[in-house]
A and B are shown apart, each in its own frame.
Chain A
Amino acid sequence: MKGEAELIGDSLLLRRMIAGDEEAFTVLYRRRHPSIYRFALHMSGNVAVAEDVTQEVFMTLIRDAKRFDPERGTLGGFLFGIARNHLRRRWEQERHSLPLPADADELDSLLSASAGPGKNGLSNGNGNGRGPFLLSRDEYTSLETVGRVRHAVATLPANYREVVILCELEEMSYEDAASALDCPVGTVRSRLHRARALLVEKLHDSQPVRRASAVGE
């Protein structure tokens, strides 16, 4: 059975939290933290960093909740904005130019498994043409494809990656994403279009190895 706090909006929960209501904070955290965690995970490609960033975002909320202005956007957008700033600060400190893909071990094992002969080596059928990078429904849902897509997202430039994560993976509207990223809606849209084009390129580029292995069979 849901508690009363779980049915009320973010703004009211936030006000209660500021007044010292621990339950309100817990509900708010449980409601909002998964998307922040996933955003940090996709952006950093590192589970430990994602945990740290999630913790820092909500620490900031606990200590300085009055910074949130509902007239400037949603609480979700505000939290993504904090997460983004924490990530950027972290990269500046650690000079991470290119983050590791998420769950590197999992991804490496998937890629090496797929590179082996006879292992799920699918061809697009036209040999040299550039057909769709995904062929069958099985391939859409395979772990390998998920790993490839995750890798492709993780290797996008940061400003493209964040719009893909927010607008595609977290299904945020352009307006909310613009609020979180502190940029115009048009910028979000154009970055997303460019990012999607880059992703298609990357996913096409990740096919030749498999095609070669299929040919060598």
Chain B
Amino acid sequence: MKEEADFMDCVEFKEIYHDLDRPGTEAFRFRERALAHAESCACCGSLLTDGEALDFALGNLSQHNAGREAPPRVEAALLREFQALKAARSRRRVREQIASLGVAAAILLAIGLGVQHRITSRASVGVESAKLMPDSSAVPAENGAATSQQDEDEYAAEFVPVPYADDPAALEGGAIVRVTLPRSALPSFGLPITESDGSDSVFADLVVSEDGTPQAIRLVSDADPNLNF
């Protein structure tokens, strides 16, 4: 039985004889049985001899070429490429960092300007309110004039002196009164009549002197930041 188990035929031999000297392969495990078969079979013995001769010949070729390698100029060219690429990557990284800093600076600037704008507009409202509040003598205009604090959504133009202003000091310390005016009354304050948005009246702030005479006017809108009254 053992002899039968150890027996290898020519077909099996031909399948594995190329790998007999290759450790780690299945053929390598059956090496002894294959060699035993080759001893008893002239044909397979001849194949084995050829295979060994080929191994030796290829081994010699491999040895003959062992020292062959690319000339130094290839390494030099590659090193130049490596350095150039490294420099380019470094430049790109610096550019990216500068761009990132630029974007960050722009965002910070925008935020700063926004905050400053808010603070400024609140401060001016505060000053105007402060000017308005102690002046209880300020008389509201007839047709429903009302004093009010500017709310955050309100837009106002610069004060323009009215044509008959006679008290420049009032521009500095006069009271401000919110009034509603008919649009047709604007020329009397030295302002042109602009296109109507459907309403015949406009809101305006008046700076009045101590005797109640309007000294300056500004138009107020709660909708259009461009002040197209």
Contacts and interface: CB of A to CB of B under 8 A. Distances in A.
Interface of A: 20, 22, 25-26, 29-30, 33-34, 37-38, 41-42, 50-51, 54-55, 58-59, 62-63, 130, 132-134, 140-141, 143, 145-146, 149-150, 153, 164, 168-171, 173-174, 189, 192-193, 196, 199-200, 203
B50 A149 contact: no
Interface of B: 18-19, 24-25, 46, 49-51, 53-58, 60-62, 64-65, 68-71, 74-75, 77-79, 81-83, 85-86, 89-90
Contacts of B62: 168-171
16 contacts: A20-B89, A25-B82, A34-B68, A34-B69, A38-B69, A41-B65, A55-B74, A55-B78, A59-B81, A62-B82, A63-B85, A133-B50, A134-B53, A196-B18, A199-B54, A203-B54
A32 to B, nearest CB: 11
Given A146-B64, A168-B62, A62 B54 contact: no
A132 B50 contact: yes
Contacts of A169: 58, 61-62, 65
B76 to A, nearest CB: 10
Q: Is the interface of B mostly helix, strand, loop or mixed?
A: helix
Contact of B56 (A51, A134, A193): A134
Most chain A CB atoms below 10 A, which of B57, B75, B79:
B57
Contacts of A196: 18, 51, 54
Nearest to B51: A196
B53 to A, nearest CB: 4
